[in-house]
Amino acid sequence: RKEVEQDPGPFNVPEGATVAFNCTYSNSASQSFFWYRQDCRKEPKLLMSVYSSGNEDGRFTAQLNRASQYISLLIRDSKLSDSATYLCVVNKANTDKLIFGTGTRLQVFP
Amino acid sequence: GAGVSQSPRYKVAKRGQDVALRCDPISGHVSLFWYQQALGQGPEFLTYFQNEAQLDKSGLPSDRFFAERPEGSVSTLKIQRTQQEDSAVYLCASSLGGRWAGAQETQYFGPGTRLLVL
């Protein structure tokens, strides 16, 4: 079983739609959680960190449920420019390793 | 300011050839990471440096893979006797902090080196 699991998609949604991605992780000792965005043939870039209290950045909302070992990302009012792969990332406790999921591909169409 | 840079951007190697991939981290960044990303997969951790010390090399897939950062800045990932399964994008990332702080901080990725082994 992979340490971080995501639905690979693709999710095809129209502009303006709300879309949610989920991710589960297996190591209950994980301490830090992130969503990274990766455009086609580009490097990953940090989208947002994920905190237990939940956090929001504009149209993006991230939630963490430690009891269920579950992380989510909600994108409201999707834009064409949101089309990318969204990587769920977890750090292993007491290490500097980041463990990436396979990514969920989002395609927003006009 | 300048981000993480990697060279070469593309490398085609014949099976059995040795290759060297270079990473220039952001100036002043203490932590440096190497990842391998196969097609359709997320990046997978290879190794980690804090300054010149290699603190974790548990992700290196075999003893054909070797990384160094002798002066605590530029790093080189070397792959000896390349195999077709080594074909992937090799990503380098750096972050500002020291040990375990790196996991709490943003890792900034370079554009990667696309390696194709024929």
pLDDT digits (tens, 9 = 90+) for A10-19: 999 999 999 9
- Per-residue exposure over A23-38, b if at least 16 CB sit within 10 Å of its own CB, e if not: bbbeeeebebbbbbbb
Flag if B104 and A32 touch (Cβ within 8 Å): yes
Nearest residue of chain A to residue B101 (CA atoms): A96
Q: How confident is the model over A26-54, as a mean pLDDT?
A: 91
Q: What percent of chain B has pLDDT over 90?
A: 86
pLDDT at A52 over 70: yes
Q: pLDDT digits over A75-110, tens only?
A: 999 999 999 999 999 987 777 788 999 999 999 999
Residue B84 is given by DSSP the state G
pLDDT on residue B102: 45
Task: Label residue B98 by pLDDT band (50, 70, 90).
Answer: low
Residues with Cβ within 8 Å of residue B60, at least 6 apart in sequence = B46, B47, B66, B67
Nearest residue of chain A to residue B5 (CA atoms): A43
Flag if A100 and B56 touch (Cβ within 8 Å): no
Task: Label residue A6 by pLDDT band (50, 70, 90).
Answer: very high
Decide which of B100 and A9 is more confident: A9
Q: How confident is the model over B94-109, as a mean pLDDT?
A: 72
Flag if B91 and A43 touch (Cβ within 8 Å): yes
Contact in structure between B40 and B57 (CB atoms under 8 Å): no
**A102 lies within 8 A of chain B by CB:** yes
> What is the average pLDDT value for chain A, to the nearest integer?
93
From CA B75, how far away is CA B29, in angstroms rounded? Answer: 12
> What is the average pLDDT value for chain B, to the nearest integer?
92
What is the end-to-end Cα distance of chain B in Å, rounded? 37
pLDDT on residue B77: 98
Token couple for A15: 């502009």
Q: Kindly list the residues from chain A whose CB atom is less than 8 angstroms away from the CB atom of residue B54.
A: none
pLDDT at A3 over 70: yes
Task: Label residue A1 by pLDDT band (50, 70, 90).
Answer: confident
Q: pLDDT digits over B60-91, tens only?
A: 999 999 999 999 999 999 999 999 999 999 99
**Number of CB atoms found within 10 A of residue B101's CB:** 14
Q: Which among B48, B106, B109 has CB closest to A43?
A: B109
Task: Label residue B1 by pLDDT band (50, 70, 90).
Answer: low
Q: Which of A33, A35, A38, A43 to mutate to test the interface with B (most CBs of B within 10 A)?
A: A43
Flag if A44 and B102 touch (Cβ within 8 Å): no
Place of tokens 């050839």: B17
What 3-state DSSP class applies to B92?
strand
Flag if B109 and A98 touch (Cβ within 8 Å): no
Nearest residue of chain B to residue A95 (CA atoms): B100
Q: Kindly list the residues from chain A whose CB atom is less than 8 angstroms away from the CB atom of residue B59.
A: 97
Rg (chain A; Cα; Å)? 13
